[in-house]
Amino acid sequence: MQDRVVIVTGAGGGLGREYALTLAKEGASVVVNDLGGARDGTGAGHNMADEVVKEIKDAGGRAVANYDSVAEPEGAENMVKTALDEFGKVDGVVSNAGILRDGTFHKMSFENWDAVLKVHLYGGYNVIRAAWPHFREQSFGRVVVATSTSGLFGNFGQANYGAAKLGLVGLINTLAQEGAKYNIKTNAVAPIAATRMTQDILPPEVFEKLTPEYVARWWPT
């Protein structure tokens, strides 16, 4: 990862934070994107992204904060612009941003269905799509998206989340084929760690052990 430039979305906490720190430690320049909102996607703030950037810089790394929403194409374009303006290029994208609005299917409002798909599925599409022309032009690109066992196998009360996460698998499988001749490699990973996304899903004894720091150690760079 030495001298590569990578955008990490949802990098203000949890696994996203660990991905950003790991990439920076390996020599990458990192665009630390985080909207700074709550677990359900409401609210916004700069503190989460700023703190990760400070941690990277204090350790001698290179990073810049970005606060745009992945749910908006314009936000994704601005993330890529931030990478180009600060570091001159973009080599990779880690699509990790996510929210939860759980509920059984018969009670799930369209608003809660739509909000989750916009962040996870459309959010992944938006950021990858913004970076894709640069990957093709330079004949190099790396894409990692966070999928989930909720998409692969289903999970009670997560129809919206599961649909979005499995949609990302289909996207990545297709992009792996389309990107091959341009040296663009794409992967979907399904990690699980103790974060605010899983705090009321994992059993307490498991939650205590699966720290983001521990799980990120197994994430290849």
Show which residues are catalytic: 161
- Count other C-beta atoms under 10 Å from residue 165's C-beta: 26
Rounded to a whole number of angstroms, the distance between the first and last alpha carbons of the chain is 7
Q: Which two tokens stand for residue 79?
A: 């993330």
164: left (phi over 0), alpha (psi -120 to 50) or beta: alpha
DSSP classification of residue 94: E
DSSP classification of residue 53: H
Those residues with Cβ within 8 angstroms of residue 5's Cβ, 6 or more apart along the chain or in another chain: 28, 29, 30, 31, 83, 87, 88, 89, 90, 91, 92
